[in-house]
Amino acid sequence: MATLSELTVTEELTALREIAADRGWTFTVIDPLRFLLGFTSSDGSMFYLLVACDSYPVQPPAWHWCNADGTRTDQASDRPKGSGFLHQNGVVCAPWNRLAYKSVDARGPHGDWAIGDWQRNSHTSGCTTLPHMALRIYVELNSSRYHRGRLG
């Protein structure tokens, strides 16, 4: 029987699949709780994320920067150079990314956020679904906060 996480992910991926097809993003479902997404940034380079959604939506998903086929995660050469949201620690800095929590990942910039409150965190600001999170990352990769290049 499908879990709550699997049902939620399946439902939300419908909208994400539609956007990805229209915008030329790469999109691959790996299993019911993981998918791979690739975006073009403002300088034309591609960035990829492996998204793990176990315990979602009780906990936020984990957005790992990775290589094109998702076999290598969290390497500096796969992470965009940026500021703020595109944090220099190499994680997406937002309450809706599990890796932003110091309690989960040592690189997480926030020891002050409670992971169980991620949907109520003021910085989440309505960004509570997978397509919304993906859109936000795409927007950031095409904004001035992306410093054109990679961390390594």
Stretch that binds another protein, among 27-35, 52-60, 73-81, 139-147 (CB under 8 A): 139-147
Closest distance to another protein from the beta carbon of 147 (Å): 13
User: According to the binding rule CB under 8 A, does residue 127 interact with another protein?
Assistant: yes
Residue 34 β-bridge partners: 31, 52
- Report how far Cα 139 is from the mean position of its chain's Cα atoms: 12
User: According to the binding rule CB under 8 A, does residue 48 interact with another protein?
Assistant: no
User: According to the binding rule CB under 8 A, does residue 29 interact with another protein?
Assistant: no
Residue 49 β-bridge partners: 37, 65
In the shown chain, the binding pattern of residues 63 to 102 toward another protein, with x for contact by CB under 8 A and - for none, equals: ---------------------xx-------xxxx---x--
Q: How many whole angstroms separate alpha carbon 129 and alpha carbon 133?
A: 6
Binding-site member from 81, 102, 132, 147 for another protein (CB under 8 A): 132
DSSP string covering 10-48: HHHHHHHHHHHHHHT-EEEEEETTEEEEEEE-TTS-EEE
| Strand arrangement of the beta sheet that strand 46-52 belongs to | 26-31, 34-40, 46-52, 62-66
User: According to the binding rule CB under 8 A, does residue 112 interact with another protein?
Assistant: no
Q: How many whole angstroms separate alpha carbon 138 and alpha carbon 25?
A: 10
Binding-site member from 72, 81, 136, 147 for another protein (CB under 8 A): 136
Binding site for another protein (CB under 8 A): 14-15, 18-19, 22-23, 42, 84-85, 93-96, 100, 122-127, 129, 131-132, 135-136, 138-140, 142-145
